[in-house]
């Protein structure tokens, strides 16, 4: 993989760290982002090469990684007039690491294949911490031979890389992940409320339970943030809601009832209604405080 040129599109909370980790692994990285200031930051911080458009990124790259906010964003970045496919050469590999609709992923892969571009869907889990540390879990859909070709690229960003099946399978497994994230988040805030109402020290409760059968990533990583009043986004309510809309749309198509997931989605909608759209998902605690008339986060 020596000399491989990587294009990275999308320098948000996670993307900026993922692109930096590719650079640290020795890859030449060209970036593009809708907000130009984020590209300037990448250039100043670690010497990223800058592109004028997704088309320009693809023209300079052997592998193009996209990390967009939602399905329409990714579709535009890939298929637009100045999109990736307008600049990609046959043999280019497109890796979409966004969380989007599995159906849309399959459609994009078909369009890419018509131009000789192989595509993988490789959504991630691990939040801002995993992105910074290069320890993300990466769920990959697509041809296994393509995955093996670019595995060193993914290894620069993630610790656990699993081939889940054909194109779209990565997005399906990511949907499963978001179901679990939502329900673990709800379990965390309910446990915090129960402990607070009972007069138990919250940090001690987290210390013990995070190591037991009731432990979860949400409890271990977000629990102490909540106790300290830190509701800054590692992953925002807005994006969690986008992911849960994808989950529930797929569940509707399969005629599958997901009662817990739907409950979390509605509770997060209440967070949004009170101005918490850009807060971290741990801001779900605010709804629990209101419902239970209990103060869990310290007053600012």
- Rounded to an integer, what distance in angstroms lies between the CA atom of residue 212 and that of residue 177? 20
- Percent of the chain exceeding pLDDT 90 equals 95
| CA separation for the pair 131, 19 (Å, rounded) | 9
Helix intervals (H) in the chain? 15-24, 36-46, 54-59, 71-79, 84-87, 102-114, 127-133, 144-155, 169-198, 202-209, 217-227, 237-254, 259-273, 284-292
- Neighbouring C-beta atoms of residue 199, cutoff 10 Å: 6
Tell me how far the alpha carbon of residue 180 is from its chain's centroid. 14
Residue 198, pLDDT score: 97
Predicted confidence (pLDDT) at residue 209 exceeds the cutoff of 70: yes
- The pLDDT tens digits for 66-75 are 999 999 999 9
Closest CA to 57 of 25, 78, 87: 87
What one-character DSSP code corresponds to residue 184?
H
Measured between alpha carbons, how far is 292 from 154 in angstroms, rounded to an integer? 43
Query: What is the predicted pLDDT for the residue at 299?
Result: 76
- Are 57 and 9 in contact by the 8 Å Cβ rule? The answer is yes
Task: Give the residue numbers annotated as catalytic, written as ranges.
Answer: 174
Q: What is the pLDDT of residue 261?
A: 98
Query: What would the two tokens of residue 107 be?
Result: 């459609």
How confident is residue 268, by pLDDT bands cut at 50, 70 and 90?
A: very high
C-alpha 202/C-alpha 114 separation (Å) is 56
Sign of the Cα pseudo-torsion (143, 146, 147, 148, in order):
positive
Burial (Cβ within 10 Å: 0-12, 13-18, ≥19) of residue 37: exposed
Q: What is the pLDDT of residues 275-297, one digit of tens each?
A: 999 999 999 999 999 999 999 99
Residues 6 or more apart whose CB falls under 8 angstroms from that of 272 comprise 237, 238, 241
pLDDT digits (tens, 9 = 90+) for 89-101: 999 999 999 999 9
Q: Which residue has the higher pLDDT, 299 or 136?
A: 136
Q: Judge whether residue 1 has pLDDT over 70.
A: no
pLDDT for 300: 62
**Residue 78 contacts residue 94 (beta carbons within 8 Å):** yes
pLDDT value for 3? 77
Residue found by looking up tokens 């100045």 in the block: 82
pLDDT band at 127 (very low <50, low <70, confident <90, very high): confident
- 0.85 exceeded by pTM: yes
Mean residue pLDDT across the chain: 96
Is 212 buried (19+), middle (13-18) or exposed (0-12) by CB count in 10 A?
A: exposed
The 10s digit of each residue's pLDDT in 74-86 is 999 999 999 999 9
What pLDDT does 2 receive? 58
Say what percent of the chain tops pLDDT 70: 99
């Amino acid at each position: 993989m020596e000399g491989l040129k990587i294009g990275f599109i999308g320098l948000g909370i996670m993307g900026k760290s993922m692109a930096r980790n590719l650079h640290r692994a020795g890859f030449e990285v060209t970036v593009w982002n809708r907000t130009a200031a984020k590209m300037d930051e990448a250039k100043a911080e670690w010497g990223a090469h800058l592109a004028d458009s997704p088309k320009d990124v693809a023209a300079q790259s052997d592998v193009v990684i996209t990390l967009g906010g939602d399905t329409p964003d990714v579709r535009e970045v890939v298929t637009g007039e100045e999109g990736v496919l307008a600049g990609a050469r046959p043999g280019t590999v497109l890796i979409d690491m966004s969380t989007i609709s599995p159906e849309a992923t399959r459609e994009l892969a078909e369009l890419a294949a018509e131009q000789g571009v192989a595509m993988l869907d490789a959504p991630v889990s691990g939040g801002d911490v995993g992105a910074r540390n290069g320890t993300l879990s990466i769920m990959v859909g697509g041809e296994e031979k393509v995955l093996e070709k670019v595995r060193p690229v993914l290894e620069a960003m993630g610790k656990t890389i699993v081939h889940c099946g054909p194109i779209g399978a990565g997005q399906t497994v990511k949907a499963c992940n978001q179901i679990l994230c939502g329900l673990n988040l709800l379990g965390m805030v309910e446990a915090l409320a129960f402990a607070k109402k009972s007069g138990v020290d919250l940090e001690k409760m987290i210390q013990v339970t995070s190591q037991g059968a009731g432990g979860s990533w949400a409890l271990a990583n977000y629990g102490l943030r909540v106790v300290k009043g830190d509701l800054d986004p590692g992953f925002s309510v807005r994006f969690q809601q986008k992911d849960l809309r994808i989950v529930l749309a797929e569940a509707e198509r399969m005629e599958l009832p997901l009662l817990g997931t739907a409950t979390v989605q509605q509770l997060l909608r209440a967070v949004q209604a009170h101005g918490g759209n850009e807060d971290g998902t741990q801001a779900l605690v605010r709804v629990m405080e209101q419902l239970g008339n209990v103060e869990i986060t310290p007053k600012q």
